[in-house]
Amino acid sequence: MSETSQSILVITDLLLGAVHADGSKSGEEIHVVRDLLKELLDQRDLPESIEKRIELFEPGDFSLAECAATFASAEPERKRRLLELVAAVRDADEEVDVAEDEYLVSLAKALGMKEAEYSDLTLDYEIEDLREHLSTLRSVKPPPLKA
């Protein structure tokens, strides 16, 4: 298998990891993955091997660290482009999801990128602050039911 073919398979997996980052599989996100891959390959239709990979992708078998390692020595522009592709998938369903954004940040860190190289692609919030606020909300007792 050529290096380009192997790269496309890894990119496919990274994009599919983004699709599943929030625990669900959105049709809009899958559509964007296919469109992005067609654009990268400069083809009207995806090769059967890529279509099969999309259909059979199992998030539990996916390793972000292993996929990112493939691009760890890539030039910064290529890493940035990879994150832009992931951001496009994240934004496909027009829903803001913390898990999808955390996936993008995890990928950037696994690629060895500095925060300044990708911060414009991430949501503007402090994860720990958000978790703390959610935890506080969960501990609030609901009002009593009126009989």
Q: SS3 sequence, 53-68?
A: HHHHCCHHHCCHHHHH
Fold of domain 3-139: TerB-like (1.10.3680)
Which of 147, 92, 99 is CA-nearest to residue 123? 99
Categorize the per-residue pLDDT at 146 as very low, low, confident or very high, splitting at 50, 70 and 90. Answer: confident
Percent of the chain with pLDDT over 70: 90
On the question of pLDDT at 119 being above 70, the answer is yes
Whether residue 52 has pLDDT greater than 60: yes
Q: What single-letter amino acid sits at 96?
A: V
d(CA 131, CA 127): 6
pLDDT at residue 141 in the model: 73
Lowest mean pLDDT among 72-76, 108-112, 140-144: 140-144
pLDDT at 1 over 90: no
Cβ(64)–Cβ(105) under 8 Å?
A: no
Reported as a single tens digit per residue, the pLDDT across 3-44 is 558 899 999 999 999 999 988 888 899 999 999 999 999 999
Q: How far from chain centre, in Å, is Cα 62? A: 12
95-108: per-residue pLDDT in tens? 777 888 899 999 99
Residue range 39-62: mean pLDDT, rounded: 94
Whether pTM exceeds 0.75 = yes
Lowest mean pLDDT among 28-37, 54-63, 75-84, 96-105: 96-105
Which pLDDT does position 76 carry in this prediction?
A: 94
Q: Summarize the confidence of residues 107-115 as an average pLDDT.
A: 95
